[in-house]
Amino acid sequence: MNDDRAHEFLLEDLSVGAHAHGFGRNAEGQAFAFRVRGSTLHVEVYRDDLDTDVPEEADVVAVAERGVNDIDLTDERSIAALVRDAVAEARPVEGAEGTLRSLLGRIGGVIDGI
């Protein structure tokens, strides 16, 4: 893959319908996930150095919400466009932890579980 395409918005999974959901990578290469609940699209963007397939709350660095009343939830292109716009406009989470703090939190969780 050439460098021009290395960091493009990419939807790796997209399920359509009233409970549409999926995941992918933004233009900066960060993982994100989205889901539709009720009439709202919820997007979570995760930290750069994410090393797990199942992110935790501490891994979320930005969020976005968008209404879905004006789009066709059975059309992949409509959902993809809405998700792309929401990911691009995601706002940083207040108090988002840095990489070191997040890592220490994970280690603490493992130690607590022992």
Per-residue model confidence (pLDDT) at position 1: 43
Per-residue model confidence (pLDDT) at position 56: 86
Q: Which residues contact residue 110 at a Cβ distance below 8 angstroms, ignoring those fewer than 6 apart?
A: none
pTM flag (> 0.85): no
Number of domains the chain is built from: 1
DSSP 8-state secondary structure symbol assigned to residue 106 = H
Per-residue model confidence (pLDDT) at position 20: 97
Per-residue model confidence (pLDDT) at position 49: 80
* Token duo for residue 99: 């990489």
Per-residue model confidence (pLDDT) at position 55: 85
Per-residue model confidence (pLDDT) at position 77: 97
Q: Which residues contact residue 50 at a Cβ distance below 8 angstroms, ignoring those fewer than 6 apart?
A: 30, 31, 59
Which residue range is the domain that position 24 belongs to?
Answer: 3-113
Full pLDDT tens readout for the chain, 114 residues: 445 555 789 999 999 999 999 999 999 989 999 999 999 999 999 998 877 778 888 899 999 999 999 999 999 999 999 999 999 999 999 865 554 555 555 566 667 667
